[in-house]
Amino acid sequence: MLPLTGLKVVELGHYIAAPFCTRLLADLGAEVIKVEPPGGDPFRGWGAKHNGHSVWFSVHGRNKLSVTLDLKSEEGKRRVKALCARADAVVENFRPGYLERIGLGPEVLHAANPNLIIARISGYGQDGPYRDKPAFGAIGEAMGGLRHLTANPGQSEYPPPRCGVSISDDLAGMYAALAIASACWGRERGNNAGKVLDLDLVSSVFSLMEGMLPEHGLFGWVRQPAGAAIPTAAPTNTYPCADGKWLCVAGNSDLIFARLMALIGRPELAADPRMATNGGRCEHAAELDAAIADWTRTLPAKEAEALLEGAEVPCSRLYDIADCATDPHFLARGMVQKVADPLLGEVLHPAPPFRFDGIAPAEMIRWPGRAAGADNDHVFHELLGEAR
């Protein structure tokens, strides 16, 4: 049995943040009822279509029931209240104040179910001077401090790279899932605090800034961008190879550093007192990076990777999605699942990344995302008991 079997969750979500939170809860076994506008979540229009259906939604909507209703209609509001009355939690990611404006704010939902946990995900949070501003994931990266760090030093004419996926939505969604699980734990033990949970994109990213804030507070330091490197550990960087590919190498512990220097034929650097500690190596990171790159440039990435693996130095080529889909380790761990999707045919899904002993990864993908409103009949008539 999946760990969250029996937990009932309503999603009033769109795009990524709230739907990602409920995807995690659904993968873990919760019953998730996703409420979509009559035309479907706008996210269904993102990425490729096949047979007229969204390919991304096969993953994004998996293990969920989909109902369509107009939140602003009387019938829609009545149904949302009825769904919340039988639920443990509701997750939403509208702009702060939207639910209140249409008459579905926390007071109304708690009148329908006093024990309901209401998780709210927004760009900036439910209070503070920016609360009313709309936001997408890129804004979380920008204001949370991440985008400043991913810039390449010396390339100020190029915009600092975006992190390829909507990482701030995913982070806020993960935090929301953890917050919901925590609130459920508290509620089971009579702790009535924490029924309205407030998560936001910019704080979710900001919370990951490691030691930068205490350093700033104590010393006034402002961490500067380091591109593919990181100023607090060395040597660790991404190095060019003979075949034009990139290799990520993390040789930043004393023992691993010594093995790495021996492998690349520079044992004198391992013996150099300047390089004896991580702090010293950080000061001389450019010299170490140049030595490692001199070695990687002589070999195709796969060969360099194999030699580094032989020396037990953490490393990886930079995988694209085709590499991920065919890698023997991901395959052996069940990370690439073939799912029979009635709308799309056979579709590859990434398995949930958590493992519970006794539960196979495939068991966590109960069904792929369905068409908008596919479960209207089941939910409205069987679960809510409306007359046909």
Ligand X SMILES: CC(C)(COP(=O)(O)OP(=O)(O)OC[C@H]1O[C@@H](n2cnc3c(N)ncnc32)[C@H](O)[C@@H]1OP(=O)(O)O)[C@@H](O)C(=O)NCCC(=O)NCCSC(=O)C(=O)O
Q: Please identify which residue in 94, 239, 257, 380 interacts with ligand X, judged by CB under 6 A.
A: 94
Nearest residue to ligand X, scored by beta-carbon proximity? 137
Name the one residue in this structure whose structure tokens are 């734990």: 185
Which amino acid does the sequence have at 368? P
Q: How far is the CB of 167 from ligand X (least distance, A)?
A: 9
Sheet containing 236-240: order of strands: 236-240, 246-250, 315-317
Q: Which is nearer to ligand X, 56 or 330 (CB)?
A: 56
Q: Report how far residue 35's alpha carbon sits from residue 13's, in angstroms, rounded to the nearest whole number.
A: 7
Q: How far is the CB of 380 from ligand X (least distance, A)?
A: 14
Instruction: Give 160's contacts (C-beta < 8 A, 6+ positions apart).
Output: 147, 148, 150, 151, 152, 225
Q: Which is nearer to ligand X, 21 or 365 (CB)?
A: 21
Q: Which two tokens stand for residue 230?
A: 């990181």
Q: Is-contact 315 248, C-beta < 8 A?
A: yes
The window from 3-11, 51-59, 92-100, 189-197 that contacts ligand X (CB under 6 A) reads 92-100
Q: Which is nearer to ligand X, 76 or 361 (CB)?
A: 76
Q: Please identify which residue in 14, 34, 53, 120 interacts with ligand X, judged by CB under 6 A.
A: 14
Q: How many CA atoms lie within 13 A of 138 on its CB side?
A: 5
Q: Which is nearer to ligand X, 49 or 259 (CB)?
A: 49
Residues 239-298 that bind ligand X (CB under 6 A): none
Q: How far is the CB of 35 from ligand X (least distance, A)?
A: 6
Count of residues that bind ligand X according to CB under 6 A: 26
Q: Of 27, 41, 88, 169, which one is the catalytic site residue?
A: 169
15 binds ligand X (CB under 6 A): yes
Nearest Cα to Cα of residue 248 among 196, 191, 315, 197: 315
Instruction: Give 125's contacts (C-beta < 8 A, 6+ positions apart).
Output: 96, 131, 198, 199, 200, 202, 203
Residues 21-60 that bind ligand X (CB under 6 A): 35-37
Residues 98-117 that bind ligand X (CB under 6 A): 98
Q: Please identify which residue in 1, 5, 72, 298 interacts with ligand X, judged by CB under 6 A.
A: 72
17 binds ligand X (CB under 6 A): yes
Q: Report how far residue 326's alpha carbon sits from residue 344's, in angstroms, rounded to the nearest whole number.
A: 21
List the x/- string, 193-222, binding to ligand X by CB under 6 A.
Answer: --------x---------------------
Q: Report how far residue 140's alpha carbon sits from residue 162's, in angstroms, rounded to the nearest whole number.
A: 11
Which amino acid does the sequence have at 307? L
Residues 118-177 that bind ligand X (CB under 6 A): 121-123, 134-138, 166, 169
The runs of H, that is alpha helices, within 86-157 are: 98-101, 106-112, 137-144, 146-149
Asked, as a colleague might, if the bond just before 235 is cis with ω within 30 of 0, I would say: yes
In what helix (H) or strand (E) does residue 62 lie, and over which residues does it extend? none
Looking at the DSSP bridge assignments, the partners of residue 359 are: 356
The window from 91-99, 107-115, 156-164, 322-330 that contacts ligand X (CB under 6 A) reads 91-99
309 φ, ψ to 5°?
-60, -40
16 binds ligand X (CB under 6 A): yes
Instruction: State yes or no: is 169 an active-site residue.
Output: yes
Q: Which is nearer to ligand X, 36 or 289 (CB)?
A: 36
84 binds ligand X (CB under 6 A): no
Q: Is-contact 180 89, C-beta < 8 A?
A: yes
Active site residues: 169
Contact positions vs ligand X (CB under 6 A): 14-17, 35-37, 69-72, 93-95, 98, 121-123, 134-138, 166, 169, 201
